Amino acid sequence: MAHSDDLTRRTLLKGAASATALVGLGMPAIVKAQSDVIRIGHLTPITGFLGPLGEFAQMGVKLAAEEINAAGGVLGRKIELVIEDSVNPQTASAKAERLIERDKVAMIIGEISSASALAIGQVAYRTKTVFINTGANSDALRGASCNPFMFHIEAANSMMVTAVGTYLKNENMIKGKKWYSLTADYAFGHDLFRVAKKFVTENGGEFIGEDLVPTDATDFSPYLLKIRQAQPDIVASNLAGNQITNFIKQYAEYGLQFPITGFGFDTAVAWGAGKGNFSGIWPLIWHHMVDTPSSKKFVDAFTKKYGKPPENQSWGDYNSLKIVAQSFTEMKSADPQKLAEHLRKGAKFDVLKSREGYFRAYDNQMVQEMYAVRAKDSDKMKDQWDIYDPLGTVPGPNEDLEVLAPPKDGTCKMQA
């Protein structure tokens, strides 16, 4: 409670005066300084429409820190997390600077919003501190905005599209089919729709409707009527966060039968939809049914600690911290400067999948396997977490992992 005096009446007044919308006040969770620890910064939104995912991110990174410290820490030093709510790009940038300059963190993990990730990435580049992005999907972060200190364990939008697209092709859902898409009306949605549309049209599909949906829309009924009037073969979601929950619920409410798919997805939003509402084929970077020994161990430890299975967002933050710990051990040094070099050299990491992943030097994107899942019938679900069946892994066992990675189109020019 050392910081409870941050929440004075004055803070509340300031907040009230400046805000027309409600913004939660985050309390920084800073543990007392010790010299024999390695401090790691964690920044992610835990309020707002990405908040549900941010909570899973924090759970993942905390579990990783616990496991690392229980095993004796890194180079004989304990890991100490400094966890903050990143709120929005401005705040994310300011907090990243403070973490690096005041709290002297060795590196930063986190983020979900592509706009905030860009802001943190710029601070990372300026201060030569590694930042591992665990949840922001925009391809631009790996393209024009790339820099040698920003790494991405999270998939780019184009990877999500290719992963689910492979299965849609197998199911004959693209060629000659009429598509209707709903897209979140902000940077992430626009970027996702651009790559999705390219993929669908290149494979012989056609868009007969493409509506943008404001992020504050809670009622989808006018969109659902338009979809019903258009009679598409496939309905595609490029929505984000809580939007997907509302959309799935109301799609079921209106009883529309056109098959659904989506290019961006997080398990938490479907867990939150409730029985009998979730349908369709969706891409995931990881899910709790991935059948590898390390994945099962993670799921067991997580479920034991938090009483529910880990979500894909927890996977990213958990693995990022494990990767950093492993790298420091291999380097025999916690030198933040050398960390970037080490990661860029193509070191391989167990990311709970059947093949190891690595950051490729071209754009610092982690090249790795991905998955697609299909919603289960509600009468076949064992419990509230059991909502989909795995469709399989992309790329296949004999394919090069890089087929999934964004094309090396030259937009990323790494500066030294």
Partner 1 sequence: MAFVFLLEQVLNGLLVGAYYLLIALGLSLIFSLGGIVNLSHGAFYAIGAYLAVTLTPRLGFAGAFVASPLLVALLGVVIERLFFRRFYRSDPILSLLLTFGLAMIIEQSLRMIFGAAPLPFSIPSALRGQVFLGNFIYPRYRLIIFGVALAAVIATWLLVYRTAFGRVVRAGVQNPDMVGALGISLQPYMTAVAALGIGLAGLAGVLLAPISGVHPAMGAEILTAAFVVVVIGGLGSFWGVIAAAALVGVVRGLTIYFFPPAGEASMYLLMALVLLLRPRGLLGERIQKFE
In angstroms, what is the minimal distance from the CB of 86 to partner 1? 14
Q: How many CB atoms lie within 10 A of CB 42?
A: 27
Choosing from 3, 6, 8, 13, the residue that interacts with partner 1 (CB under 8 A) is 13
Question: Token pair for residue 384?
Answer: 């509230």
Instruction: Sketch the per residue contact string, 328 through 367, with partner 1: x for CB under 8 A, - otherwise.
Output: ----------------------------------------
Interface residues for partner 1 in 215-234 (CB under 8 A)? 216-219, 221-223, 225-226, 228-229
Round to whole Å and give the CA distance between 5 and 109. 27
Choosing from 14, 102, 104, 275, the residue that interacts with partner 1 (CB under 8 A) is 275
Interface with partner 1, residue 257, by CB under 8 A: no
Round to whole Å and give the CA distance between 191 and 178. 21
Q: How many CB atoms lie within 10 A of CB 7?
A: 12
Pick 225 or 414: Cβ nearer partner 1: 225
Choosing from 28, 29, 30, 47, the residue that interacts with partner 1 (CB under 8 A) is 47
Any bridge partners for residue 130, and if so which? 107
Helices 51-70 and 312-331: crossing angle in degrees, nearest 10, is 40
Interface with partner 1, residue 245, by CB under 8 A: yes
| Residues 348, 356 contacting (CB under 8 angstroms) | yes
CA nearest 215: which of 249, 185, 181?
Answer: 185
Round to whole Å and give the CA distance between 150 and 340. 9
Pick 93 or 242: Cβ nearer partner 1: 242
Q: At 352, is the secondary structure helix, strand, or coil? A: coil
Choosing from 70, 76, 214, 397, the residue that interacts with partner 1 (CB under 8 A) is 214
Q: How many CB atoms lie within 10 A of CB 381?
A: 16
Angle at 167 between CA 163 and CA 173, to 5 degrees: 125
Q: At 25, is the secondary structure helix, strand, or coil? A: coil
Note the residue count of the chain: 416
Instruction: Sketch the per residue contact string, 25 through 44, with partner 1: x for CB under 8 A, - otherwise.
Output: x-------------------
Question: Token pair for residue 70?
Answer: 């229980």
Interface with partner 1, residue 48, by CB under 8 A: yes
Round to whole Å and give the CA distance between 158 and 161. 5
Choosing from 12, 33, 361, 414, the residue that interacts with partner 1 (CB under 8 A) is 12
In angstroms, what is the minimal distance from the CB of 384 to partner 1? 6
Choosing from 269, 352, 370, 373, the residue that interacts with partner 1 (CB under 8 A) is 269
Instruction: Sketch the per residue contact string, 180 through 209, with partner 1: x for CB under 8 A, - otherwise.
Output: -----x------------------------
Interface with partner 1, residue 5, by CB under 8 A: no
Choosing from 116, 277, 314, 365, the residue that interacts with partner 1 (CB under 8 A) is 277
CA nearest 405: which of 292, 265, 280, 285?
Answer: 285
Interface with partner 1, residue 54, by CB under 8 A: yes
Interface with partner 1, residue 52, by CB under 8 A: yes
Q: Give Rg (Cα) of the chain.
A: 21
Stretches 107-115, 193-201, 275-283, 396-404: which one binds partner 1 (CB under 8 A)?
A: 275-283
Choosing from 122, 137, 157, 246, the residue that interacts with partner 1 (CB under 8 A) is 246
One-character DSSP codes across 91-144? HHHHHHHHHHHTS--SEEEE---HHHHHHHHHHHHHHT-EEEESS---GGGTTT
Interface with partner 1, residue 85, by CB under 8 A: no
In angstroms, what is the minimal distance from the CB of 16 to partner 1? 5
Stretches 8-16, 171-179, 327-335, 355-363: which one binds partner 1 (CB under 8 A)?
A: 8-16
Instruction: Count interface residues toward partner 1 (CB under 8 A).
Output: 54
Q: How many CB atoms lie within 10 A of CB 207?
A: 17
Question: Token pair for residue 202?
Answer: 């290149």
Residue ranges binding partner 1 (CB under 8 A)? 12-13, 15-16, 20-22, 24-25, 46-49, 51-52, 54-56, 185, 211-214, 216-219, 221-223, 225-226, 228-229, 242, 245-246, 249-250, 252-255, 268-269, 271-277, 311, 384
